Amino acid sequence: MKYVSTRGGVAPIPFKEAVMMGLARDGGLLLPESFPDVRDRLADWAKLSYESLAFEVVRLFADDIPADDLRAIVRKSYATFSPVPPAPDQAWTGPEVAPVRPVGPVHVLELFHGPTLAFKDFALQFLGNLFEYVLGEGGRELNVVVATSGDTGSAAIHGLRGRKGVRVFVLHPAGRVSPVQELQMTSVLDDNVFNIALAGTFDDAQRIVKGLFSDLPFKDEHRLGAVNSINWARVLAQVVYYFYGAFRTMERTGAKEVSFVVPTGNFGDVFAGYVAARMGLPVRRLRLATNENDILSRFFASGVYSLGRVVPTLSPSMDIQIASNFERWLFLHAGRDAAQVRAWMDAFAKNGSLEVPRAADGSLDATLCAGRADTAATLETIRRFHADFGYLMDPHTAVGVSVALASGDAAGGAPVVCLSTAHPAKFPDAIGRATGDASLATEPRVEALKGAPTRKFPLPNDLRAVADFVAART
């Protein structure tokens, strides 16, 4: 399997090289030259544990890693999760790291049972082990620079802390992540971890990271690596739980296909589902859900991708206006025409907007669609599902569930799987506003953080300041 850039300026490269490159050297994003068709394997895959399924999916894209080595990387990655006992009404009997809970009219795919209580652990535990493996082959070093709107930072830190040959620099928007999210990052005091509190938004942090990677002499001199979802391995690891969630839901309901609703800001998580559908997973509909920062839902309604102002919300990991992984969808939508992608991205860089023509039937994509839920709808969804079903969800999950209900997906023929991206204990303020009782949002690992010593480095919203900080420590 070889990888190419969405902007056409990188010769096809193997998986390990793509992982270490992160952002393509021409400024684009890397994608496999093709997606394997796995429809003839679905029946066998449906019987597998999560770990075994992850190995089968990943090996199709990582064929330059020996099978035994890859199996060991996968095993080590998910050994850090807290397995959940199976529900009594399902045939599957093994412990699960990604359980599906039937809750009222939807099925909730819980992705928060990893070490930092967020879905990012699925990719970043894997990527941390993958980095260590590849670096160990050549005795090299890597300096990871990552922007975070909340969960990526802590998951990256916990995936890379103490790793030999790796340093990690995390840029989070100062004052724009939840207190628990900040504690999960700044309470890690390992010598190879540097938390940067940036005076700006997530989009500012992401712009600075892309600026560092686009400066090729700087990137090469300081051996920069990426763990944001611009790194293909991040997306690949997340593809697995779409297969797993669909299998468990179809097993329980007897359905032949499912729909997914995905709360998203950077388009990486929903793009992983799009890849699964391209591989042959029977997905009727894949609906992304945004909060008030709705550049993506506006695009799928209008065909125009245009910048707005970032609005702080109860779901801070989605407070994003520039969705990096959207470029991967544009590349596929354009029939892998890199010149067209370059033209679109040049227009966006110049004007803050781009427009994509619709198909003859008026649609943009036969599988993808979108919806939006504001703060009031988010709070009402948390309140209602706790009151009616005894189920507590975090505000990001509530955005997705709210969109599923408002869109009518949950009343359709195919069961609807809503991705639950974080544990509610990470957002006690939102839980308190919705239910009147913030103490409902508890979890032992979160409680243990309170009062812990912390360390962070405040920096201005300036590319040169961040570059100098990284250079002085590498």
Rg (CA), the chain: 21
As a whole number of angstroms, the distance between CA 221 and CA 179 comes to: 35
Give every CB contact of residue 203 below 8 A, 6+ residues apart in sequence: 310, 320, 321, 322
Under a CB-based contact definition with an 8 Å cutoff, are residues 378 and 315 in contact? yes
The answer on pLDDT for 349 being more than 70 is yes
Q: At what angle do helices 120-138 and 151-160 cross, to 10 degrees?
A: 40
**Per this entry, what is the length of the chain?**
474
Under a CB-based contact definition with an 8 Å cutoff, are residues 178 and 152 in contact? no
Distances in whole angstroms, Cα of residue 474 to Cα of each of 19, 143, 166, 468:
20, 7, 10, 10
Catalytic residue, chosen from 120, 210, 219, 426, is 120
Q: Please identify which residue in the block is written with the tokens 């894209």.
A: 61
Angle at 290 between CA 106 and CA 200, to 5 degrees: 140
As a whole number of angstroms, the distance between CA 233 and CA 124 comes to: 9
The answer on pLDDT for 7 being more than 90 is yes
The answer on pLDDT for 99 being more than 70 is yes
Would you place residue 76 in the very low, low, confident or very high pLDDT band (cuts 50, 70, 90)? very high
Please provide the average confidence, as pLDDT, over all residues in the chain.
94
Average pLDDT over residues 45-55: 96
Distances in whole angstroms, Cα of residue 201 to Cα of each of 172, 317, 318:
8, 11, 12
The string of pLDDT tens digits covering residues 303-342 is 999 998 889 999 988 988 889 899 999 999 999 999 999 9
- Catalytic residue at 47? no
**Would you identify the CATH topology of the domain 100-116+233-440?**
Rossmann fold (3.40.50)
The H or E element spanning position 304 is strand 304-306
Q: Quick one: pLDDT at residue 353?
A: 96
Q: What is the model's pTM?
A: 0.93
- DSSP for 376-420, written as a single string: HHHHHHHHHHHHHH-----HHHHHHHHHHHHHTGGGSSS-EEEEE
As a whole number of angstroms, the distance between CA 394 and CA 400 comes to: 10
As a whole number of angstroms, the distance between CA 213 and CA 218 comes to: 8
Q: Could you give the percent of the chain with pLDDT greater than 90? A: 84
As a whole number of angstroms, the distance between CA 153 and CA 195 comes to: 9
As a whole number of angstroms, the distance between CA 268 and CA 326 comes to: 8
Residue type, 93: T
Strand ranges for 163-243 from DSSP E? 166-173, 193-198, 224-225
Give every CB contact of residue 182 below 8 A, 6+ residues apart in sequence: 172
Average pLDDT over residues 181-189: 94
Q: Count other Cβ atoms within 10 Å, centred on residue 383.
A: 16
Under a CB-based contact definition with an 8 Å cutoff, are residues 2 and 13 in contact? yes
Q: Which of 168, 120, 128 is closest to 144 using CA atoms?
A: 168
Q: Which of 15-19, 81-85, 129-133, 191-195 has the lowest mean pLDDT?
A: 81-85
Average pLDDT over residues 101-109: 96
DSSP structural state of residue 296: H
As a whole number of angstroms, the distance between CA 444 and CA 402 comes to: 28
Under a CB-based contact definition with an 8 Å cutoff, are residues 191 and 452 in contact? no
Distances in whole angstroms, Cα of residue 247 to Cα of each of 84, 134, 297:
17, 32, 28
The string of pLDDT tens digits covering residues 288-308 is 999 999 999 999 999 999 998
DSSP structural state of residue 437: -
Average pLDDT over residues 79-94: 75
Would you place residue 90 in the very low, low, confident or very high pLDDT band (cuts 50, 70, 90)? low
Q: Quick one: pLDDT at residue 229?
A: 86
Sketch the domain layout of the chain as residue ranges. Answer: 100-116+233-440
Under a CB-based contact definition with an 8 Å cutoff, are residues 269 and 419 in contact? yes
The string of pLDDT tens digits covering residues 207-257 is 999 999 999 999 999 999 988 888 999 999 999 999 999 999 999 999 999
Average pLDDT over residues 88-107: 83
